[in-house]
Amino acid sequence: MNKYVETLTVDNSVLALVDHQTGLLVSCRDMDPHLMTQNIKGLTSLAKTVNMPTVVTASMPDGPNGPVMPEITDILGDEIIERAGEINAWKSPEFKRAIAATGRKKIIMAGIVTDVCLMFPAISAVAEGYDVYAVVDASGTWNNTVMQAAMYRMSQAGVKVATWSSVLAEIMDDWRSEHGMELGEILAQHTTYRWVYNSYLSATNQK
């Protein structure tokens, strides 16, 4: 099947989070920081709920970039690939091995900052045959112009630009699926979909 129409599933995807570090977060000005944090928590909760393999990496976390944000480690645990100097995470042998070890060719990827920590490994992974979904609203960068430029360059290289809620819906596929209601609850927790979800629960006496 053409990779541009093949959909994400629980069984064919791995989540890669690149450099969501506290020191880098302060530079993100293309999105409201609270909204970005909610998006990141939603994406990580999605992976946790469906038992999707996850790979988390950080660039020089003992330096000014800081540690991985606690909102991620609180959900996924503290297993982190700490890179000594590679800016492009794809040039880290440990990171590449961790992705390859999952046996999955679809990478759901987010990173801070978007135009470096996400864009570089996303393009590099595509060049090596992976199908990468760049989750831009669970990423962040200096300003909206920089974000738009990164999106254009990634798209030109064959990276699929996505949002975390669309990834969740694609993974869910059907409200009657094994994790349908759990994923709906995650969407409700982190977006304005909560009003729809709460109305449904009230109407069906599930609240």
Give the residue numbers marked as catalytic: 117
The CA distances from residue 133 to 64, 106, 125, 173, 196, in Å, are 28, 8, 11, 17, 27
Inter-residue contact 146 to 30 (CB < 8 Å): yes
What is the CB-side half-sphere exposure of residue 63 using CA atoms within 13 A? 10
Direct distance between the N- and C-terminal alpha carbons of the chain, in angstroms, rounded to an integer? 41
Inter-residue contact 82 to 75 (CB < 8 Å): no
